[in-house]
Amino acid sequence: MSDPRGDDALIIATFSRRMHLRLEDGAVVNARIKGKKLRPVCGDRVTAVPLDAEEDWLITAVAPRVNELSRQNTRGGHEVLAANLDCLAVVAAGVPAADWFVVDRYLAAAALMNASALLVFNKIDLVDELTAAKPALCRYSQAGYEVIETCADDGRGIAALRRALDGKTSIIVGQSGVGKSSLINRLSSAAGLRTAEISNARKEGRHTTVNSQMIDLPGGGTIVDSPGVRDFAPYIEEPASVARGFIEIDAAAKDCRFGNCRHLREPGCAVKRAVERAAIDERRYESYRRLLALTEKLTQDRF
Ligand SMILES: Nc1nc2c(ncn2[C@@H]2O[C@H](COP(=O)(O)OP(=O)(O)OP(=O)(O)O)[C@@H](O)[C@H]2O)c(=O)[nH]1
Ligand SMILES: [Mg+2]
Ligand SMILES: [Zn+2]
C-alpha cells in the first residue's frame, strides 16, 4: 500500500511524456505527468500517486537534482537528458568514424556537472580503425582521462568497463551505431536491448535506441542507455566555465597571468604556452575554442 502523500519513486525510462517508475518496494509501474510544467527524466526522484481505476500512476513532483546532463538546442534553450548521475561513459568507435569534437563536448559536460567521465573506444576487433585511433586515445590518457578499449562482440575490455561503472549511476552516450546498447547487453545479460547494424552505404548508425532507459548492472550500479546523436553541445550558462570542461586546460590555467584569462590572445597565458610546446594537444585546444565561441554566441542570443 502506498501512503496518501505519494511514493518516492525513481524514473527508469522515458517515452516522451510517459514514464516507467520504480517504486520504493521495487515494483515497476507506468506513469504520466501531472500538468505541463514538470519534465522528469531518467534518474529523477519523483513523488507519484496511484490513480483510482487506472493502471497508471501520476507524477506530481520532481525532487531537486544533484546534477543534470543538459544539451544546448539551437534556439539558445536547453533540454535535460538525464539527472543525478555519477559518471558519463562516452563511447566512440572506428565505424562510424569517431567525431572527437563530440567526444570532447561530452567529456566537458561531465566535468561541468561534477560527474566522472570515461572514454570507451569500442569495436577494437576492427584492427585498422583501432590503429588509426591510437594516437588520439593516447592523448586523452595523457590529458588525464580514463580510456577503456572494448569489443562488445567478443567481450574484451568488458571486465574493465564493469569495474569502472561498479556501484555508480552512469549514462552511456555517443554517436549512433558505436555500440552503446551492445555494450550494455554485454554488461547485463538480462538487458535485452535492441541493437541494429549500421547502414552499409553511409557507415552511420540507424538511431536504433529511441528512448532513455536505466538498466541495473549485476554487480551493483545502474546505467542509462541513451539514443545516439549526430552532434552534442552541453548547455553552459557562463562562457567563463567552458575551460573547466577540459581537464588539462583547466589545470594549466592556474598559471595564467590573469584570473579571467580566456586563453585566446591574452599575454602571459599558460594554456597557449602549453599548446605551443605540445603539452596540450592542439586539437583539444581547438575544441575548447570552438565550445567557447559557441557558448559566447548562445549567451549573447539569450539577452
Ligand atoms: N565489429 C563490432 N561491431 C560491434 C561491436 N559492438 C557493437 N557492434 C555492432 O554495431 C552495431 C550498432 O550497435 P548498437 O549497440 O545498436 O549501437 P548504439 O550505439 O546503441 O546505436 P544507437 O542506439 O543508434 O545510438 C550493431 O550491428 C552491433 O552489432 C564491436 O565491438 N565490434
Ligand atoms: Mg542503442
Ligand atoms: Zn590563459
Tens of pLDDT, residue by residue over 151-206, are: 999 999 999 999 999 999 999 999 999 999 999 999 999 999 999 999 877 788 98
Q: What share of the chain is helix, strand, coil (3-state, %, to 5)?
A: 30, 25, 45
Query: 246 and 147, same structural domain?
Result: no
Residue type, 209: T
Ligand 3 (single-atom ion) residues, CB below 5 Å: 256, 261, 263, 269, 271
118 within 8 A of 111, measured Cβ to Cβ: no
Q: Are residues 172 and 118 in the same domain?
A: yes
Q: Residue 49: give the domain boundaries.
A: 7-62
CATH classification of the domain holding 257? 1.10.40.50
Q: Are strands 87-93 and 169-174 parallel, antiparallel or unpaired?
A: parallel
- CA 5 vs CA 2, 179, 256: distances in Å: 8, 42, 54
The answer on 196 and 72 residing in a single domain is: yes
Return the best residue to mutate from 148, 195, 232 for the ligand 1 pocket (most ligand atoms within 8 A of CB).
195
Give just the sign of the alpha carbon dihedral 94, 210, 76, 299: negative
Cell of 171: 549514462
- State whether 268 and 129 are in the same domain: no
Let me know if residue 234 belongs to a domain.
no
CA distance 12 to 29: 10
Residues 108 and 173 in one domain: yes
Q: Is 230 part of a structural domain of the chain?
A: no
In a domain, 104, yes or no: yes
The pTM score is 0.95
Closest atom of ligand 1 to 197 CA is: 27
Mean pLDDT, all residues of the chain: 94
Beta strands in 136-177 (DSSP E): 146-149, 169-174
- Ligand 1 mean position to 126 CA, how many Å? 12
Cα(192) to centroid of ligand 1, in Å? 14
Q: Within a domain: residue 233?
A: no
Domain boundary among 199, 225, 251: 225
Same domain, 134 and 256: no
State the Cα–Cα distance between residues 10 and 47, nearest whole angstrom.
9
Q: Do 118 and 256 have their domain in common? A: no
User: CA-CA distance, 101 to 99, in Å (whole number)?
Assistant: 5
Q: Is the dihedral angle over the CA atoms 146, 150, 156, 161 positive or is it negative? A: positive
Residue 109 shares a structural domain with residue 187 = yes
Biggest alpha carbon–alpha carbon distance for the chain: 70
Q: The CATH number of the domain where 144 resides is what? A: 3.40.50.300
pLDDT digits (tens, 9 = 90+) for 92-117: 999 999 999 999 999 999 999 999 99
Whether residues 260 and 283 fall in one domain: yes
Residue 303 has a pLDDT of 64
d(C-alpha 97, C-alpha 74), whole Å: 24
In angstroms, rounded to a whole number, what is the distance separating the alpha carbons of residues 177 and 209?
9
Q: What is the CATH number of the domain that holds 23?
A: 2.40.50.140
Share of the chain above pLDDT 70, in %: 97
Residue with cell 518516492: 8
Residue 1 has pLDDT above 60, yes or no: no
Question: Alpha carbon of 217 to those of 23, 92, 118, 221: distances in Å?
Answer: 18, 21, 17, 5
Asked, for residue 52, whether it belongs to a domain, the answer is yes
Nearest CA to ligand 1 atom 21: 177
How many structural domains are present in the chain? 3
| Same domain (yes/no): 76, 215 | yes
Q: Are residues 104 and 193 in the same domain?
A: yes
Looking at the structure, tell me whether residues 130 and 165 fall in a common domain.
yes
**Angle, alpha carbons 68-73-74 (nearest 5°):** 160
| CA–CA dist 285, 268 (Å, integer) | 17
Cα separation, 174 vs 78, whole angstroms: 18
